[in-house]
């Protein structure tokens, strides 16, 4: 019996949650396309020892700005030409700003909305032809606590983009449910990232104390949840949002 070689695309895979998710799916045997706008980050991953255990035919690095629809389409073309299918799309690429409402410029609004929300919409749209042909697929959108509860520290524009992802999750899920394609969202909060190294320790301590489980989350914990949603076991789950926030929001 031929077993299918699964193919995953992870956007924003140059660092942080995206990198942890891409590594996790790779470690589970999938072929993984690491997508990021930042060529330097992708080069650092490529040169690091993170991938030494994997055959180089199992991964590729694609420099793509997810707010550029033509670049998205070109990346899907490259992936399908090389690997023949797309089983999993993780829309993780995101830009977060804390700008106060009074100071948000049109330029910053457009950046946040076009990357976080537009990127999710157009990458999902671009994989549909292939997933529909296969009559199978998993789309997982990395939203945020901010898209559910509104801003704590993040800006209104960021939270609006993250809330928009949750509605897109339902819209795509409903439209694709009868074709073997599931669409779900993960809503993290306060996950440890390199960004925290540059933050004021007193502010960090205060943040940590406000989390019911009294610690920050780990990127690997988000990756584990994504891996479950990407698996065959999750076929009856669609249109849902999975919170991973240490109890910050209980609903
Ligand atoms: N870390 C957290 O606590 C947390 C909490 C809630 C939600 N999230 C969400 O998780 C996702 C990842 O967060 P993170 O903390 O790892 O962020 P990060 O800033 O460390 O990583 C984001 C990655 O996305 C890439 N990226 C940015 N703009 C892009 C574009 N236009 N095209 C392609 N790639 C682009 C960046 O280069 C970077 O590699 C984001 O969508 C974020 O909103 C994170």
189 lines ligand 1 (CB under 6 A): yes
Q: Looking at the CA of residue 94, tell me the nearest atom of ligand 1.
A: 41
Nearest to 97 by CA among 15, 161, 169: 161
pLDDT at 94 over 90: yes
Q: Is residue 1 part of a domain?
A: no
Statement: residue 91 has pLDDT above 70:
yes
Cβ of 87 closer than 6 Å to ligand 1, yes or no, is no
> For residue 180, is it within any domain?
yes
Residue 3 is classified by DSSP as P
- Asked, for residue 96, whether it belongs to a domain, the answer is yes
Q: How far is the CA of 14 from the centre of ligand 1 (A)?
A: 9
Q: What is the pLDDT of residues 140-173, one digit of tens each?
A: 999 999 999 998 889 999 999 999 999 999 999 9
Would you say residue 249 lies in a domain?
no
Domain hosting residue 46, numbered range? 7-242
Residue 63 lies in a domain: yes
**Ligand 1 midpoint to CA 17 (Å):** 7
SS3 label, residue 29:
coil
CB of 63 within 6 A of ligand 1: the answer is: no
CA distance 14 to 43: 8
* Mean pLDDT to the nearest integer, 177-188: 98
pLDDT tens profile 112-129: 999 999 999 999 999 999
Domain contains 143: yes
Q: How far is the CA of 2 from the centre of ligand 1 (A)?
A: 36
Residue 82 has pLDDT above 70, yes or no: yes
Distances in Å between the Cα of 162 and the Cα atoms of 79, 166, 169, 233 are 27, 7, 11, 26
Our answer on whether the CB atom of 165 is closer than 6 Å to any ligand 1 atom is no
Just list the catalytic residues.
Answer: 158
Mean pLDDT for the stretch of residues 233-237: 98
Q: Considering the domain boundaries, does residue 248 fall inside one?
A: no
Most distant pair of Cα atoms in the chain: their distance: 61
What contacts 159, CB < 8 A, 6 or more positions away? Answer: 144, 146, 147, 150, 151
Is the C-beta atom of 191 inside 6 A of ligand 1? yes
Q: Report, as an integer, the average pLDDT of 94-110.
A: 97
- Rounded to whole angstroms, the Cα distance separating 156 from 100 reads 8
| Separation in Å, CA 59 to CA 2, 17, 119 | 21, 17, 21
Q: Name the domain count of the chain.
A: 1
Is the pLDDT at 1 greater than 70? The verdict is no
Q: What is the CATH number of the domain that holds 143?
A: 3.40.50.720
Q: Which of 10, 11, 18 to mutate to test the pocket of ligand 1 (most atoms within 8 A of CB)?
A: 18
By C-alpha distance, which of 170, 113, 112 is closest to 141?
170
For residue 158, is it within any domain?
Answer: yes
CB of 163 sitting under 6 A from ligand 1: no
Atom of ligand 1 nearest to the CA of 158: 43
pLDDT > 90: percent of the chain: 94
Cα–ligand 1 centroid distance for 251 (angstroms)? 25
Query: Above 80 in pLDDT, residue 90?
Result: yes
Q: What pLDDT, on a 0 to 100 scale, did the predictor assign at position 196?
A: 85
């Amino acid at each position: 019996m031929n077993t299918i070689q699964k193919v995953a695309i992870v956007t924003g895979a140059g660092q942080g949650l995206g990198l942890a998710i891409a590594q996790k799916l790779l470690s589970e045997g999938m072929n993984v396309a690491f997508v990021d706008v930042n060529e330097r980050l992708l080069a650092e991953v490529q040169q690091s020892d993170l991938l030494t255990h994997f055959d180089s035919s199992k991964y590729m690095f694609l420099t793509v700005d997810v707010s550029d629809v033509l670049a998205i389409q070109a990346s899907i073309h490259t992936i399908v030409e090389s690997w023949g299918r797309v089983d999993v799309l993780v829309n993780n690429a995101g830009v977060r700003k804390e700008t106060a409402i009074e100071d948000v410029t049109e330029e910053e609004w457009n950046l946040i909305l076009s990357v976080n929300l537009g990127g999710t919409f157009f990458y999902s749209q671009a994989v549909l032809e292939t997933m529909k042909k296969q009559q199978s697929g998993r789309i997982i959108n990395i939203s945020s606590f901010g898209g559910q509860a509104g801003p704590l520290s993040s800006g209104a524009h960021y939270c609006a983009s993250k809330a928009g992802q949750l509605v897109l999750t339902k819209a795509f899920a409903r439209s694709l449910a009868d074709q073997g394609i599931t669409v779900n969202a993960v809503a993290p909060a306060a996950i440890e990232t390199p960004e925290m190294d540059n933050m004021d320790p007193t502010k960090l301590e205060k943040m940590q104390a406000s989390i019911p489980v009294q610690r920050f989350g780990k990127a690997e914990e988000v990756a584990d949840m994504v891996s479950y949603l990407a698996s065959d076991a999750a076929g009856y789950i669609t249109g849902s949002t999975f919170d991973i926030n240490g109890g910050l929001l209980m609903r």
